């Protein structure tokens, strides 16, 4: 069975090529093709000799992610369904705004966490993505950004399908490639990893002193409500998460972003805002209030604009930095919480 060349470290690739009788500098050329230029067909690696290209084809595969379909929203957000080498599908989203071009990528095919407001949570978990499959999504969306918007990605968010911290090693490896000068050379501060809240892995991020931005999907600031919509909270309750987040901050100096989907008649009251303000005060942080995007699997509704404004005013009156994130790509099921491999709309 042929080995995927992209599972080799740069050192492993150099050693293997030397064993096969090739000059060590060839590994740098191949690395540039695979990661910087994102060329995954050995025949297209033009500065390699024909015998070397044949040798690579005889010994290795690359298993590229391919684009299955694309849906374009009325707001120009573009949702992509990507096919993995084994036939599994995941989704990614390209989100244009006046100041940013953001890629939202998936870390798992499906999800195991069953969050009640999220369409992906109603899917079965198929498997973790390899680091090169996550990286392929970023590269493919970057190419699309250049093609349709004339500029490269400015940001990447790990907020697509799956829980990133349950695929810890591959997520960090994909970020290493994205930030490596021999990859995409992105600043780690342009990358955000979002988690539903796995305390021991948040602490591990601190131990590894990661440099990227970090977000916690909170959505309720008391355990009773959070347990109702996020079963993971039963084993990672708010006191445990607070301890882990403080540890992460002490190790990295990175301020936490709390994500809070505001749901009508569930977590949108003044009391909910007071509880969120008190919780967020424990940790250096900012708060993103997110519009809810309806899904067929759940009965939740987005709260009114008036209630959202009142909620934000309470938070700001208590000294918090608050941003309201408006829905993008809702009409093609590409908005936050809607990713579930649906293909309504027209292909573009």
Structural domain spans, the chain: 3-61, 66-332
Return the pLDDT at 345. 42
pLDDT, tens only, 165-202: 999 999 999 999 999 999 999 999 999 999 999 999 99
Task: Identify the band that residue 297 occupies on the pLDDT scale cut at 50, 70 and 90.
Answer: confident
Q: Which of 104, 111, 115, 336 does the annotation list as catalytic?
A: 336
CA 189 from centroid of its chain's CA atoms = 14
State the pTM of this model. 0.93
Share of the chain above pLDDT 90, in %: 82
Q: Which CATH number fits domain 3-61: 2.40.100.10, 1.10.150.530, 1.10.3720.10, 3.10.129.10?
A: 1.10.150.530
Q: Is the dihedral of CA 191, 77, 117, 129 positive or negative?
A: negative
Cα–Cα distance, 79 to 340 (Å, whole number): 11
91 is catalytic: yes
Under CATH, which number does the domain 66-332 receive?
3.20.20.70
Q: Measured between alpha carbons, how far is residue 33 from residues 26, 42, 60, 131, 295 in Å?
A: 11, 9, 14, 17, 41
Q: Which tokens belong to 120? A: 């992906």
336 is catalytic: yes
Task: Identify the band that residue 325 occupies on the pLDDT scale cut at 50, 70 and 90.
Answer: confident
Cα–Cα distance, 306 to 325 (Å, whole number): 15
For residue 305, give every residue at least 6 positions away whose Cβ sits within 8 Å of its Cβ, in sequence order, or none: none
Q: Which of 91, 163, 213, 259 does the annotation list as catalytic?
A: 91
Are 320 and 286 a contacting pair, CB within 8 Å? Answer: yes
Return the pLDDT at 129. 98
Cα–Cα distance, 272 to 270 (Å, whole number): 5
């Amino acid at each position: 069975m042929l080995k995927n060349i992209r599972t080799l470290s740069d050192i492993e690739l150099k050693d293997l090529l030397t064993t096969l009788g090739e000059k060590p500098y060839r590994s740098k050329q191949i690395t540039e093709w695979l990661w910087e230029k994102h060329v995954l067909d050995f025949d297209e690696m033009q500065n390699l000799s024909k015998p070397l290209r044949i040798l690579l084809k005889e010994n290795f595969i690359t298993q590229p992610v391919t684009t299955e379909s694309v849906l374009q929203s009325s707001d120009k957000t573009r949702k992509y369904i990507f096919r993995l080498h084994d036939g599994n599908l995941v989704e990614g989203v390209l989100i244009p705004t006046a100041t940013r071009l953001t890629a939202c990528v998936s870390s798992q095919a499906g999800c195991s966490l069953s969050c009640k407001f999220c369409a992906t949570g109603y899917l079965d978990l198929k498997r973790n993505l390899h680091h090169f499959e996550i990286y392929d999504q970023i590269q493919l969306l970057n190419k699309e950004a250049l093609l349709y918007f004339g500029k490269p990605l400015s940001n990447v968010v790990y907020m697509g399908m799956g829980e990133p911290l349950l695929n810890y090693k591959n997520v960090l490896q994909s970020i290493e490639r994205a930030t490596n000068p021999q990859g995409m050379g992105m600043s780690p501060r342009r990358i955000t990893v979002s988690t539903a809240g796995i305390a021991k892995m948040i602490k591990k991020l601190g131990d590894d002193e990661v440099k990227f931005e970090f977000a916690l999907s909170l959505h309720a600031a008391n355990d009773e409500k959070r347990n109702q919509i996020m079963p993971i909270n039963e084993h990672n309750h708010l006191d445990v998460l607070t301890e882990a987040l403080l540890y992460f901050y002490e190790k990295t100096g990175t301020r936490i972003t709390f994500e809070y989907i505001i749901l009508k008649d569930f977590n949108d009251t003044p009391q909910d805002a007071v509880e969120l303000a008190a919780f967020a005060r424990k940790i250096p942080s900012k708060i993103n209030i997110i519009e809810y995007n309806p899904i067929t699997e759940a009965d939740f509704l987005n709260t009114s604009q008036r209630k959202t404004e009142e909620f934000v005013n309470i938070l700001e009156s208590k000294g918090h930095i608050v941003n309201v994130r408006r829905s993008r790509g809702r009409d093609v099921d590409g908005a936050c919480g809607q990713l579930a491999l649906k293909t309504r709309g027209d292909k573009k």
